[in-house]
Structure 1
Amino acid sequence: MRNLKLIIGLFFLLISTVLSAQESLDVYLKTAAGNNPDLKAKFDEYMAALEVAPQVKALPDPQVAFAYFINPVETRVGPQQFKISASQMFPWFGTLKAKENAAIQIAKSKYQRFEESKSKLFQEVKADYYNLYFNRKAEIITQDNIVILKTFQRLATIKVEAGLVSLVDEYRIEMELNELENQLALLKDKRRVLQIRFNNLLNVEEMAKVVLPEDLGTDDIAFSREIALDSIKQFNHQLLQLDFQQTALQYKREVAGLMGKPSFKIGLDYTFIGKGEKNLAGKDAFVFPSVGVSIPLYRRKYKAMVKEVVYLEAAKTNEKINKTNLLESLFEKIWKDYLDANRRIDLFERQLKLANNSLSLLETEYATGNKNFEEILRMERKALKFNLEKEKAKTDKQASIAFVTYLMGK
């Protein structure tokens, strides 16, 4: 019963640790989304693009003219003194709506660019978070191996003093300890670099403490390869951005065609008449309307504008095909890395278990006999390597999952 309670307690402790680690990562992702300056810049560009549509859908500014007659023109009712004219141009029907639609599609493509930057930022935050985890685990594992080697060192010293082994055994341990202590110092220096990079992504204080999990876990990806690849082709933000740009070009082609149509002008003139002969009060003349038509005679210009957009549409289509192929190739590489990390986790768990068992046997044989100490050091190196490789495989697996999630536009 006591063992059952212990197992249950350890289970819930493990669950709470995993949940706490995930919650910490979620907090960092939210902080990055709110603070990262590059992401803010992309969002401001999107907001600026939204302001384009109200500009292009508006009519051209009306024109107002004032004319003063230096030598008044005499009329039957009196001399003309000055005149005010106002006119408004109207483009061909549907031109302004097409311009507005093109601007809206461009704004949508800017939003997808913002979403792409956010997904990429989240992937980088996760990758650096996992690198920090591995670096800390490497420090702990290296420190543990230093402690083990110092135990062997005391054992070797006893045997050397008893004349059972050569002083070379102590020298070998000393050399091994020097290498591990140098490696530990390097890991501590690397931790600072990783921490600064991680906090810079969040745009917080450089040396702010990063909360890391005790164990990263080995959770599998939540979807199949086929589902992931289909999701990339449908929801990847880079591809969606190209889709909106393609749609914007369709509206721009429509605009180019409509610009080759006539535009119309409607205006009015108001003339002020002064006092005429015989002290007549005069009469202002109100003339309405004046109508004008702007006829685009130089057709080659407008045909060239349409052809330009057609070529851009073709270029954008090929760009999307190329981007899809690149993303698919990248996905296959990352999926291969994910599967490889899974295999390495299982492999190095087995290898580490065998190395630790072998190390225990060699230690016993050395303590009770004259077993070659070099074999113990060789096995200790293997145990260190397998332990580090296991944690690296766990890190690589989670980093691969994060990258696939990024490619899927999540």
Structure 2
Amino acid sequence: MRNLGIELIGPGIQRIRFNTLLVLFALFTFYSVSGQQLESYIKVAEENNPEIQSFNLKYEIAEEKINEVNAYPDTEFGIGYFVSEPETRTGPQKLRLSVRQMLPWFGTITARENYAGSMADAEYVEIAVAKRQLALSVAQAYYRLYANEAKQKVLKENIELLETFHELALNSLEVGSTSAVDVLRLQMRQNDLAQQKETLEQEFNAEEVLFNNLLNREENLSVEVVDSLFIPESQTDERERVAEVHPELLKFDKLYESVVEAEKLNLKDASPKLGFGVDYVSVAERTDMALVDNGKDILMPMVSVSIPIFNSKYKSVTRQNELRQKELQAQKNQRLNLLQTSLEKAVSIRNSARVAANTFIENLEQAKDAEEILIRSYETGTIDFNDVLEIQELQLKFQTGLVEAVKNYYMQAAVINYLSK
């Protein structure tokens, strides 16, 4: 690669030699550190993001739910005092104590654990979705910052180039080969570019605040972006497809599984329930006669069965679960179609960005050739500064367009990575 050089043509006269790749400000030079830099920002965002922290807590709550359902119904204790003491053969009853324990049908608690576990799995997938969406937002904000900074560099180089032409115009003005109007037009063009650069600086500061907010850190921290990016030459012709295990789709699978587990639990709830208990009755001794077992307390073990004879409730739940499964399958298919459409759109925009970048490169090469012709014409004193401004404006348009194309390429590549990986 040739470097920007200044060659002396004559006393006080300089020829500007630009290399085409240099004009692109090394946009097509790749530093491997760029990917690492972006990944480090994404890692910080994942560690600090309140939404992901919230999803982690929801997942922990869902996991703790498993311990909640892994328990038998509450044991019932009762105590009763006979105000009017019923007489029995062995004496009057004074006090009754009772204890009851209902037991679910065999396998019901396991079914509850499985259902709670499936709901926890669904919550865990939400964490994966949130992390992917956050990574996409951070990546796209990063590439916007890169494009802004690259455009500032383009403007800075163009301002310096105009300053060189301004000096040439002053020299021409001294020998009477140009007018003061040309000098003023070059100055006004410089002022306009300086104003554009200042606007970009303000936009960069605002975008930097947004980026820091994504990372949930102090807004005034500076963000370092890669100096240059390039669009790879190689491109696969294989059609991109949404990943089968994409979290946004996997979420529906996990919810579907939770409905399956809910139906298993519903069938267990429709089964009989067993109850065990014991009653203890305190009996006072009779004083009016002597009896065998006089005043003997009563101990009465009991077994009960709860049978859902009127089970229309459970049949309704079964029907609801069937409909819920169909609903989730339809929602998954709809989401898959939307994701695939978004993926196709992203691939199309990325490919268009590649084509646009190649076009801008070709136009820049031709613009540089025209610029060199104008510079050489200075030797004969026939330089037209109107043509200079026109060529410079075209170069700026192509350079900023190239930066925008590179930004679009990487922003859409981030979308494709989100959908297909």
- Using structure 1 for the length normalisation, give the TM-score: 0.89
Q: 2 CA distance for matches of 1:225 and 1:41?
A: 38
* 1:117 maps to 2:130: yes
Residue identity in the other structure for 2:282: F
Q: 2 CA distance for matches of 1:220 and 1:167?
A: 47
Matching of residues 3-402 of structure 1 within 5 Å = 18-219=31-232, 225-226=238-239, 228-229=240-241, 232-277=242-287, 282-288=295-301, 290-366=302-378, 368-402=380-414
Change (3 A) 1:135 1:174: same
Residue identity in the other structure for 1:401: A
Shift of 1:285: 2.0
- State the match for 1:5 in structure 2: none
For residues 23-78 of structure 1, the C-alpha deviation after alignment (integer angstroms, 9 at most, x for no partner) is 22222111111111111111111111112222224222121111111122333333
Shift of 1:129: 1.1
- The 3-state SS of whatever aligns with 1:51 is helix
Moved more, 113-122 or 214-223: 214-223
Shift of 1:197: 0.7
Answer whether contact 2:172 2:381 (CA < 8 A) is retained: no
For residues 206-235 of structure 1, the C-alpha deviation after alignment (integer angstroms, 9 at most, x for no partner) is 111212222123347997644x41xx3412
Q: 1 CA distance for matches of 2:232 and 2:105?
A: 60
Moved more, 27-36 or 78-87: 78-87
- The 3-state SS of whatever aligns with 1:61 is coil
Answer whether contact 1:233 1:324 (CA < 8 A) is retained: no
Shift of 1:132: 0.9
- State the match for 1:9 in structure 2: none
Q: 2 CA distance for matches of 1:360 and 1:246?
A: 67
Q: 1 CA distance for matches of 2:314 and 2:176?
A: 101
- The 3-state SS of whatever aligns with 1:67 is strand
Residue identity in the other structure for 1:334: A
Change (3 A) 1:219 1:204: farther
Answer whether contact 2:266 2:314 (CA < 8 A) is retained: yes
Q: 1 CA distance for matches of 2:235 and 2:183?
A: 51
Q: 2 CA distance for matches of 1:301 and 1:221?
A: 61
Q: 1 CA distance for matches of 2:187 and 2:326?
A: 68
Change (3 A) 1:46 1:266: same
Shift of 1:156: 1.4
Shift of 1:362: 1.4
- State the match for 1:4 in structure 2: none
Answer whether contact 1:18 1:217 (CA < 8 A) is retained: no
- Pairs aligned (count): 392
Answer whether contact 1:83 1:269 (CA < 8 A) is retained: yes
Unaligned ranges ≥5, structure 1: 1-13
Change (3 A) 1:374 1:222: closer
For residues 238-278 of structure 1, the C-alpha deviation after alignment (integer angstroms, 9 at most, x for no partner) is 10000000111112223333333322222111222233326
Q: Quick check: which one's helix share is greater?
A: 1
For residues 340-388 of structure 1, the C-alpha deviation after alignment (integer angstroms, 9 at most, x for no partner) is 2222332222222221222121122245333432221111111112222
Change (3 A) 1:106 1:221: farther
Residue identity in the other structure for 2:411: A
Change (3 A) 1:209 1:32: same
Change (3 A) 1:87 1:343: same
Change (3 A) 1:295 1:223: farther
Answer whether contact 1:366 1:373 (CA < 8 A) is retained: no
Shift of 1:401: 2.0
Q: 2 CA distance for matches of 1:319 and 1:36?
A: 28
Unaligned ranges ≥5, structure 2: 1-26
- Percent of counterpart pairs with the same letter? 29
